[in-house]
Chains A and B, each alone.
Chain A
Amino acid sequence: MTEQAPILILLFPFLTAIFVALLGAKVPAASWPLTIASLGASICATLTTLIQVLENGTIRYYVGGWAPPFGIELRIDGLNALVAVTVATVAFLGAIYSKDRVESETENKGPQYYALYLLLAAGLLGIVITGDAFNLYVLLEIAALTSYALLAMGNKRATLAAFKYLIMGTIGASFYLLGVGYLYIKTGSLNMVDIQEQLIANGLQDSSTVQVAFIMITVGLWVKMAFFPLHAWLPNSYAFGPTTSSSIMAPLVTKVMIYVMVRMVLTVFGPVYAFEVLDWGNIVVWLAVIAILAGSIGALAQKDLRKMLTFLIIAEVGYMVGGVWLVDETGMTGAIYHIISDAFMTLCVFLFAGIVFAKTGARDIYAVDGLFKKMPITMIGFIVGAFSLIGIPPTAGFFSKWYLIQGGINSGNWEYVIALLISSLVNAVLFFRIIEIAYFGKKPAEGHIHHHGDDHTKISEAPITQLIPLLGTAAIILLIGIFNKDLVAVIQDFLEPFNLVAGIR
């Protein structure tokens, strides 16, 4: 059983999706338990895989027993084992949150929602564990198509945003597909590791075809991950989609794309090619700096809570793209660590936004008015997420910045360091603005209030199915912060063979 764990990661949500779609029409109430059960099983499978990877090293699983380079291979090493656990866990927590919200936000579409949700989870998990470049494209589109549908379930704005996302997403995926085509011309292979071996064995480093392939794949992924200035599709779709949909998409979709970029850079093209032959690292870091600053400024301008958060995603994408292109082991470690920590941070704040929307029905940041009194537990969860995004120890966000800034200093990219610091400060402003409103209320009294003794404002917390994922996420943020050493050890084990320390640039 355990040796089949890699494929089970994918099969649980995938098969359940079909089942839910079929059964849902008759027994809609069964959808949610089935979803939870299958995602829970998927988490177990990812954990099993992670443990196997830690014990025995990279797992190569041949789907259907067909050996690569022709059969499809699931190839799991330290990097994607970690990301797979993250994806499965976020999907699981998001599914718990969906229980009460699905009916109120997307009426009578429960089973469809869960079927799509599971397919999206299966697609994302597949992207993470596959070792085949074309297979990745198909999974990319599975994840994308379900995303469009999940978003279009929202209000009018969301539907239009979903359409734009569909156009942009297709362009991005098509570029990726073209890039894979060019790679195939040169190497005759679609297996990631095999491509890398062919590139080295045939000395294709100087080939302009490979160069075109690399640029197309990278740009395609940038569109998909909303790297500024290719981000236009993101804010509206995540801000106006149903809160349930955005609670899985906002944390995962962009992060998984960054994982794919890391995979392409390290495993497919190899760091020597990506950073040395094609020496545009500095330009990319500057682009990342612009992305970080633009995301932060964009966030400052927003009055809508979720829209503000979407701009933060754009800034965070800049963090990670920049971190990868710093060409420094610590920077790369930071970028990868940030994939994990940012997934949970984003989930945390989006869950909070969802809960606030559920409670008040309002979208703007003033909806949090006086929430410290009304929903103290929810606020605790939010504060952990907010502190993590600001980067206050010992939350996970602090340690991502710790590694990323180290990487920036090591490689001498001071502009990146400064951008990170500015963005931290902007995040502090943004979140303390919210905390202030929640604490003081919209219009604090002019004078000095003297209540007699402690007040007794009615506490009306969110339902337990919304609190559990929020607090669970908050706990995970703290845990991966406190235990970051162990996490980073896994990442560094993975990075060791790439020898980034040598300072390629």
Chain B
Amino acid sequence: MNPAITSSTPLLACLASLAAVLPILLLRKSPNLRESATFVAGFIKFGLVVSMLPTILGGTQIEYTLWQILPNLSIAFRVDGLGMLFGLVASSLWILTSLYTIGYMRGLKEHSQTRFVAFFAVSLSATIGVAFSANLFTLYLFYEMLSLATYPLVTHHQDKEARTGGRTYLSYLLSTSIGFVLPAMIFVFLKTGSSMEFAEGGFLAGHVSGKEALILLLLFTFGFAKSGLMPFHSWLPAAMVAPTPVSALLHAVAVVKVGVFCVIRVFTGVFGLEFLKTMDIATIIAWAAAFTIVVSSLIALTQDNLKRRLAFSTIGQLSYIILGVALLSDRAVIGSMAHIAMHAVGKITLFMCAGAIFVASGKKYISQMDGLGKKMPITFAAFTIGSLSVIGLPPTGGLISKFYLVTGAMDAGQTALLIVFLVSTMLNAAYLLPIGYRAFFPKDPELARQPFSWKNTEEASLPCVLPLCITAGLALVLFIKPQFLLNLAGLMVGHGG
């Protein structure tokens, strides 16, 4: 057991954005003040998270028990390496997304911006809550909160399409969490009689039989449907009706990552890797993930709507993370955790670019983007960097996590799954790279002959473009300096990476 100190910082970090809801609502009459409230909360939140980083890297965990809600069971927070990693990703990207939101929402003159910003803040609280949960119960609580708080965001347009999308979104997420996770959690609670605190090496070993363990594992893995594992993935493309900032932060970072985060938590904190190894039940999950990777990549190839293509790409990438952890080898698990961050940075860049393209040119379909790179060079440059990161090519952070995943697969001796990684990487390249390439080197000779000039560029406004440049930059930085992420992930498997 790691040494731990008690501090209310995790709680405060979680509440920082929730507390911002009130000023946001009060300041609804003046958008500038309202946005500054968001930023203040964002920086406070990020500051609180970062302030815990040295302690965590030093191998100490931070605990805080808020309220004992049931006999034996409390709402409690604990920050460890994995939680820290996810918390960092989510809180830092929130600031950038908030900036981006201003550009996007005002650019399109969207309605009900106050509601949007307020629920955005609530969602972030839920995300950090998930990241810092100390036990399964707290995790579930914030997981549900996130599903509900994001519903108004997904359905923001309040039109027919949004209604259909919102229906799919909620019905998938709620039915799986109530139908699968809740009974599984209660069963675990009954079997172990414990407080369900996540522990290194899990707490389930010795309490359940092999068959029960398998059923529980399936219920948990598929129940956290936010991870987009097939066949419970349809909500993700459906949720793309949301305004792009939502897609960017929530559906490339917060919501989906909460899904895989929960799965990793269950694997490492509830079952424990050793227990899973002895039971030999994770293989079925690994194959489900492998199936998802290949199929979603193939579907992505056929999509013309940029956001939908990105959505299917996300489904595949999420399954990388699940596959990594299901391989049960230390390196693969580290790779999984690192991939949370790497993919987040890459994918948010792509989504922001998609939004920026829509704001500036009104174009949603890839086939319309021929030669657009000449009008929006910065955006498409960032898009290309993001693509590289998602595919896992140098010089981007994506390479690092992929490297760990692939070597992890070799450690685990799963040659077949290794091939899945390689094939899917090629598929990734096939559906992402042509977008950037065609934008700069259009097929149409007419367009190709047009000379490039900075004067002709029609970029989106600065609040739109700046954040995506920063995230693209981050993707590059993470290639050079991935060590602290790997250290955080390494804490979870018992050594420093």
Contact = CB atoms under 8 A, between A and B. Distances in A.
Interface of A: 387, 390-394, 399, 401-402, 405-406, 409-410, 417, 421, 424-425, 428-429, 432, 436, 439-441, 444-455, 482, 484-485, 488-489
A425 B172 CA distance: 11
Contacts of A432: 167, 170
B186 interface: yes
A455 B111 contact: yes
A425 B112 contact: no
A187 B182 CA distance: 46
Given A393-B144, A425-B179, A444-B159, A454 B111 contact: yes
Contact of B71 (A405, A441, A455, A488): A488
A421 B176 CA distance: 11
Contacts of B166: 436
B162 A484 contact: no
Nearest to B178: A424
A444 B186 contact: no
B178 A391 contact: yes
Contacts of A406: 186, 189-190
Interface in B284-312: none
Interface stretch (B62-70, B253-261, B396-404): B62-70
Contact of B190 (A410, A441, A453): A410
A338 to B, nearest CB: 15
B148 interface: yes
Contacts of A391: 178, 182
Interface string B408-419: 000000000000
A428 B109 contact: no
B241 to A, nearest CB: 10
B15 to A, nearest CB: 15
Contacts of A485: 68-71
B70 A402 contact: yes
Nearest to A399: B70
B368 interface: no
Contacts of A489: 71
A449 B155 CA distance: 12
Contacts of A390: 174, 178
Nearest to B152: A439
Given A447-B159, A454-B114, 10 more contacts: A390-B174, A406-B186, A425-B179, A436-B163, A439-B158, A440-B155, A445-B159, A450-B110, A454-B113, A485-B69
Contacts of A444: 158-160, 162-163
A392 B142 CA distance: 11
Interface in B65-111: 67-71, 108-111
Contacts of B70: 399, 402, 484-485, 488
B171 interface: yes
24 contacts: A394-B141, A399-B70, A402-B70, A405-B186, A406-B186, A409-B183, A409-B190, A421-B182, A421-B183, A429-B171, A440-B163, A444-B160, A445-B159, A446-B159, A448-B159, A449-B111, A449-B159, A450-B109, A451-B111, A451-B112, A452-B109, A454-B113, A455-B111, A455-B112
B175 interface: yes
7 residue pairs, one from A and one from B, having the closest CB atoms? A451-B111, A445-B159, A393-B141, A444-B160, A405-B186, A440-B163, A444-B159
A96 B173 CA distance: 38
A266 B166 CA distance: 47
A445 B162 CA distance: 10
Interface residues of B, number: 39
Interface string B186-216: 1101100000000000000000000000000
B157 interface: yes
B438 interface: no
Contacts of A452: 109, 111
Given A440-B155, A446-B159, A482-B69, A425 B178 contact: yes
Nearest to A401: B182
Contacts of B144: 392-393
B277 interface: no
B174 A428 contact: yes
Contact of A428 (B110, B114, B175): B175
Interface of B: 28, 67-71, 108-114, 140-141, 144, 148, 152, 155, 157-160, 162-163, 166-167, 170-171, 174-175, 178-179, 182-183, 186-187, 189-190
Contacts of A488: 70-71
B159 A421 contact: no
B162 A440 contact: yes
A263 B114 CA distance: 52
B294 to A, nearest CB: 31
A421 B178 CA distance: 7
Given A421-B183, A425-B178, A444-B163, A449 B157 contact: yes
A447 B159 CA distance: 6
A158 B422 CA distance: 69
Contacts of B111: 449-455
Given A444-B160, A485-B71, A450 B179 contact: no
Contacts of A424: 178
Nearest to A424: B178
Contacts of B152: 439
A432 B173 CA distance: 13
Contacts of B155: 439-440
A438 to B, nearest CB: 11
Nearest to A489: B71
Contact of B160 (A401, A421, A445, A454): A445
A377 B267 CA distance: 42
B215 to A, nearest CB: 12
A391 B183 CA distance: 13
A449 B158 CA distance: 8
B444 to A, nearest CB: 29
Contacts of B148: 387, 392
Contacts of B113: 453-454
A440 B187 CA distance: 38
Contacts of B140: 393
A406 to B, nearest CB: 5
Contacts of A410: 190
Nearest to A417: B183
Nearest to B110: A450
A432 B154 CA distance: 14
Contact of A409 (B167, B171, B175, B186): B186
Contacts of B186: 402, 405-406, 409
Contacts of B159: 440, 444-449
Chain B CB within 10 Å, residue with most, of A401, A424, A440: A440
A452 B112 CA distance: 9
Nearest to B67: A482
A390 B160 CA distance: 25
A421 B166 CA distance: 22
A346 B191 CA distance: 33
A171 B187 CA distance: 42
Contacts of A441: 158
B179 A484 contact: no
Nearest to B160: A444
A23 to B, nearest CB: 46
A428 B187 CA distance: 22
